[in-house]
Structure formats: C-alpha cells, structure tokens
C-alpha cells in the first residue's frame, strides 16, 4: 500500500456530525501522549496533518482524514484515518473525561464505516489497565484491532522482541497482532499499512 494523497476532512464530537463517506474508517486510539497523531503524520508522510504536542491531551475531538492510496490490486483506493482523543490523561476534569469516553464509545457503536482500530501503547511500559479496558471494548463490539508499540527508538533494537512479547502477554493479544513502530526513526510503517490494507480489502 502506497499513500498517494491525504487531506483533513473535519473535527467532530457528535455522531450526527460524522462525515458521510463511502470509504472504510481505520481509527487510532490509545492513552494521551502515546503518539497517535505522530504515527498518522509519519505513515502519511506529512509533517503536521494531525496536531502533535508534548503536552498530553492535544487531540480533544475526533479528527477525520481522507487518504488516497495505491496497491498492487487497486490503482485508486480510499480510506479514512480517524484520530481519536487520547484517554487516561490525569489533568482533566471528571466531566471532561466522561465526555471523552462517551465520544469514543459512540464512535465505536455508531460508525458503520469502521473496519479496524489500531491501539497504540508505549513500548517501554507494561500493559496498562486502561488499554486492557479498551481492548475489551473492541472485542465486545467485534471490531478488528492491532496493537502498535510506539517510541521503539527509546529502546535497543536487540531488545524489541522481548518488550513485544511482554506486552502481548500482558495485554493478552496474539503476538502476531502486535507491531513495533517509531515516528522518530520512521520504522514499522510497512507492517501497519499491510494490516490496514487487509482490513479494507
Ligand atoms: N521518541 C519518540 N517520540 C515520539 C514518538 N511518537 C511521538 N512522540 C512524541 O510524543 C509526544 C506526543 O505525541 P502525539 O503524537 O501528540 O501523541 P498523541 O497520542 O496524539 O497525544 P494526544 O493527542 O494528547 O492524545 C510528542 O512530543 C511526540 O514528539 C516516537 O515514535 N518516538
Ligand atoms: Mg493526538
């Protein structure tokens, strides 16, 4: 899969505001600051189509992007990428947290275009209860998912398999659906694009 073009569509909160689209959605979720927006920029080869910040809680709305791509089978394919607001950020009010959770839950339940979710986790951290809750929600809804362990540039390359093994055990996901990735080093892009392509065939 090769990205040809990508454009920002809109930011929304309510299901009634989701963009009408004939294309499949692939959504990106994970704790705040894990690197969702960075990953989207990196795989789209764009500097700042999704907003990145060192301060957690940057993405507070559901952001839709429309991607045009090419594959061996398809000369002209389209998919939407959806950047979801990060969870688990301590410095937000309870009301705000509840409204974020609701926003994400609504999206999973109501968005018929949704064909797959990529859950991002920090490769350096052990399995987080909040991510386990997210995985349960995805399983309950029957939404296909993959786990991407980000910021892999922070650990030695030789240690990657050990960290991935530990995370897949902790999160109780098959070690074949967990990939390492680095926005900084631009590694792991191919695996993610292949996974996405398989969800939208
Ligand atoms: N070293 C390293 N830093 C990264 C990587 N990906 C993201 N970062 C940094 O992590 C911080 C957060 O990145 P974002 O992409 O904004 O994270 P996010 O998950 O979109 O955060 P929210 O929008 O708050 O949910 C930024 O300072 C990024 O530069 C990576 O692969 N390696
Ligand atoms: Mg973000």
Ligand nearest to the CA of 63: 2
CA 74 to ligand 1 centroid distance, Å: 32
Full-model pTM: 0.95
Q: How many angstroms separate the first and last alpha carbons of the chain?
A: 11
> In terms of residue numbers, what domain contains 22?
2-200
Q: Return the H-helix or E-strand segment holding 171.
A: helix 160-171
Q: CA-CA distance, 81 to 23, in Å (whole number)?
A: 10
Query: How many CA atoms does the CB half-sphere of 68 hold within 13 Å?
Result: 6
Q: What is the mean pLDDT of the chain?
A: 94
Ligand 1 contact, 184 CB (< 6 A) = yes
Q: Kindly state the average pLDDT of the residues 183-197.
A: 97
Ligand 1 contact, 53 CB (< 6 A) = yes
Say which CATH number the domain at 86 has.
3.40.50.300
pLDDT in tens, 63-115: 999 999 999 888 899 999 999 988 887 677 888 888 888 899 999 999 999 99
pLDDT band at 52 (very low <50, low <70, confident <90, very high): confident
Q: Kindly state the average pLDDT of the residues 155-172.
A: 97
Domain count, the chain: 1
Pocket test for ligand 1, best of 27, 31, 32, 33 (most atoms within 8 A of CB): 33
Q: Kindly state the average pLDDT of the residues 16-28.
A: 98
Strand 2-12 and strand 77-83: the pairing is: unpaired
Q: What is the pLDDT of residue 59?
A: 72
């Amino acid at each position: 899969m090769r990205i040809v073009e990508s454009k920002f569509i809109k930011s929304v909160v309510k299901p009634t505001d989701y963009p009408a689209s004939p294309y499949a959605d692939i959504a990106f979720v994970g704790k705040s600051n894990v690197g969702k927006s960075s990953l989207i920029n990196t795989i789209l080869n764009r500097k700042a189509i999704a907003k990145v910040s060192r301060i957690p809680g940057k993405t507070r709305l559901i952001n839709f992007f429309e991607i045009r791509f090419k594959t061996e089978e398809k000369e002209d394919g389209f998919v939407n990428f959806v950047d979801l607001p990060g969870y688990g950020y301590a410095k937000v009010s309870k009301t705000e947290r509840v409204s974020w959770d609701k926003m994400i839950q609504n999206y999973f339940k109501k968005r018929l275009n949704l064909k797959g979710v990529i859950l991002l986790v920090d490769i350096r951290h052990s399995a987080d209860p909040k991510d386990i809750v997210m995985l349960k929600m995805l399983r309950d809804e029957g939404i296909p998912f993959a786990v991407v362990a980000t910021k892999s540039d922070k650990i030695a390359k030789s240690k990657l398999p050990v960290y991935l093994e530990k995370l897949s055990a902790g999160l109780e996901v098959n070690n074949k659906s967990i990939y390492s990735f680095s926005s900084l080093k631009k590694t792991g892009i191919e695996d993610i694009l292949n996974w996405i392509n398989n969800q939208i065939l």
